[in-house]
Structures are given as structure tokens and as C-alpha cells.
Amino acid sequence: MEITIHPVTPERRKPKPVDESALGFGKIFTDHMFVMHHDAERGWHDPSIVPYGPFSLDPGTMCFHYGQEIFEGMKAYRGENDNLFMFRPEKNIARMNQSAERLCMPPVDPDFFMEALKTLIRVEKDWIPHGRGTSLYIRPTMIATEVALGVHPSNAYLFFIILSPVGAYYPEGFNPTRIYVSDSFVRACPGGVGNCKAAGNYAASLYASTEASNQGYTQVLWLDALTRTCPEEVGTSNIFFVLDGTLVTPPLGGTILPGVMRDSIMRLARSWDMNVEERRLSMDDLIESLNTGRLTEVFASGTAAVVSPVGLIRYRDRDHEINGGSVGPVTRRLYDEILKIQYGEGDDPFEWRARIDP
């Protein structure tokens, strides 16, 4: 399939943000977007890059009613000499197709998906900010577009990719978060869609995260749905513990989103000869290990922040401080090493960089 490009007219080009420190996250969108349609007869067709703008959708369009919508989140980085990279985009492409399968949506050919990403980023390359830590956030999305009521898989879909320049996550250095353990609400249950990037998962998380925020906490620490004793994820990130010098993270098993950063962190730590284990830990074990000094670091991992240190955990009406509320050495080392790979500094031992040729 050939991607048709319809560039915006010069007078419709938006001004690029001048102050990169004010970019924030997801507030500004670039001049163009990628769009492509699917129906049963033609499969995916008419891929094109068009001026960024609103869609006109019938109020009966199925995505408004039954939540058949999935998305991805990834970034493009500008390194030295204006070299442009993505970080392991093939993992996001594969995960989008896994989400699609689970939600009865059509997969996108991985090679074509990659071509669409690279073509769009090339068109929008001047929107990739320059400062270290800044990036161009990439949001591929798929929605059901059949106009009908009644719950069934849609017979038509729209796939689009939009781009947003985003600021450095830690302009003033790490800020350890305060997290709140929810044992009243759960994010995912076995047999559900917790391992997919389904839009409905995020809607379902809002009540607990609002409650946590109202009580002065940054994120929710989600426990497993069946026993409500074992941490699974934190906010919209995976979670890691440094326990007796071993890096521990909960095993996937269907209720946890298989994070690209989660996998990268485990591989990097193993390459340092650090012991890495995927195993369940209960909150009681964690609190006891904290009190006896065996649990030294807790951090969240994800595309947005790479790693986000946890300074305090609220569990059953008590606040538990971690590592004196400051950032531990493993957290810091992982952050530094992954940033170097993302920005094209030094070696790429795992071949994680996907270069975007000008």
C-alpha cells in the first residue's frame, strides 16, 4: 500500500513551540496525522497523511457506545547531530496487534505499521524538540466506526496516528512519588483485558486515582483482583522492587500490561549481572522487608518517565517511607543508561534504537 501525503498549506501550519520547558504532556499536536480505514471487503485501505484535524463521526458510531478502542504510546527522540530515533517500536506494534486480537479488531501488518510511523515522523521531524529528555510522543489509535447499536464486533475501523511534542519528565530532577494502595478497587482481573491497551481500562481506573489524588497521593498501587494482597502495577506503569539486592517485578499472567520499559529494564539489569526475578510479592512481605531494611528501592517503569522512584507507600492507614524518600542507586543507574540509549549516546548493545533516516 502506498501512503498518500496531503501536506497542510503553508498558511495553516501551526507555530512550533519556542519554550521547550513549557511543553508539558499531550497539550500540543503537530500539523499532520496518519489515517487509514478498514472494512470487510477491502481490509485496510487508503492510508494517508493528512492535515491534523477533527473527525466527523455519526453519533451512532460504535466506538462511542461499546468501547471498542485501543491505543499505543511511544516516543521519537532527537539525539546528537539531529539523529532521530524511536525506542523498540516493534514492541509497541506487536502489543497493538495483541490488543486488537483480544478486542476483535483487525491487526495492522507490522512492516506497514513501521513504515507509517517513519513516514509520519519524517514529515513532522521539525516538531521533535531538542532538549535532552524532551521527545515527540506518538499515539497510534484504532476505533470501531460501524454505525449501529447492539453489541457486536464492528465491521469497520479507523486507525490513526497523532504526534505531540512533550517536555522533559524531570526538568528539576527526580521527584519520588507517594503512592496509595487500593484494596477496594482493582484495575484488571484474570480473563479480562488488563494486558491490553484498551481505552476502557483507563476509564475504569479514574475513580481510584481521583480518590488517591484527593488524599494527597500521586498514583494508585493496584493489587491483584483475586486476593487483593499482591501489587501488580502502579498508576499506568509497571512496578519494580529492589529486595535483598535482587530486582523483583510481578509476573505478567494476563492482568498486567507487558511494558516495553519493563522488559528493557529486566534485560539491562541482567546484563549487569544483577539478579532479576518475576515473582509475586505480598504487601505483608513488602512492609516487613521494608521494616527490616531488605527492601531498598521501589520504582515504576514506563515510556513516559522511564523510571519513577516511589518515596512512600500508603497501606491500610499507614504511610511507609522507602529509602528515606530519596532515589536509590539502581533506579538512577537504569534511568541514566536507558536515556543514553534513547538519545543515541554511545553503544546500543541490544539494538533497541530504530533510526529514522531524514
Ligand X SMILES: Cc1ncc(COP(=O)(O)O)c(C=O)c1O
SS3 93: helix
Q: Measured from the CB of residue 59, what is the shortest distance to ligand X in angstroms? A: 29
DSSP class of 327: -
| C-alpha radius of gyration, the chain, whole number | 21
Residues forming beta bridges with residue 77, ordered by sequence position: 85
Cell 528493557 maps to which residue? Answer: 264
Q: Where would I find the beta strands (DSSP E) of 153-262?
A: 156-166, 177-182, 219-223, 231-234, 237-243, 246-249
Q: How many residues bind ligand X (CB under 6 A)?
A: 13
**Residues 50-79 close enough to bind ligand X by CB under 6 A:** 73
Determine the residue with CB nearest ligand X.
259
CA–CA dist 205, 185 (Å, integer): 8
Using the rule CB under 6 A, give the single segment among 253-261, 276-284, 285-293, 313-321 that binds ligand X.
Answer: 253-261
Q: Is 249 near ligand X (CB under 6 A)?
A: no
CB atoms within 10 A of CB 121: 22
Amino acid at 174: F
| Cell reading at 266 | 529486566
Site string for ligand X, 190-229 (x = CB under 6 A): ----------------------------------------
Nearer to ligand X, 84 or 204 (CB): 204
Amino acid at 7: P
Nearer to ligand X, 236 or 323 (CB): 236
Q: Is 236 near ligand X (CB under 6 A)?
A: yes
Rounded to 5 degrees, φ, ψ at 261 are -70, -35
Pick one of 119, 238, 249, 308: the residue that binds ligand X (CB under 6 A). Answer: 238
Q: Is 255 near ligand X (CB under 6 A)?
A: no
Q: Is 237 near ligand X (CB under 6 A)?
A: yes
Using the rule CB under 6 A, give the single segment among 10-18, 46-54, 148-156, 234-242 that binds ligand X.
Answer: 234-242
Question: Which residues would be at the binding site for ligand X (CB under 6 A)?
Answer: 73, 233, 236-238, 257, 259-262, 301-303
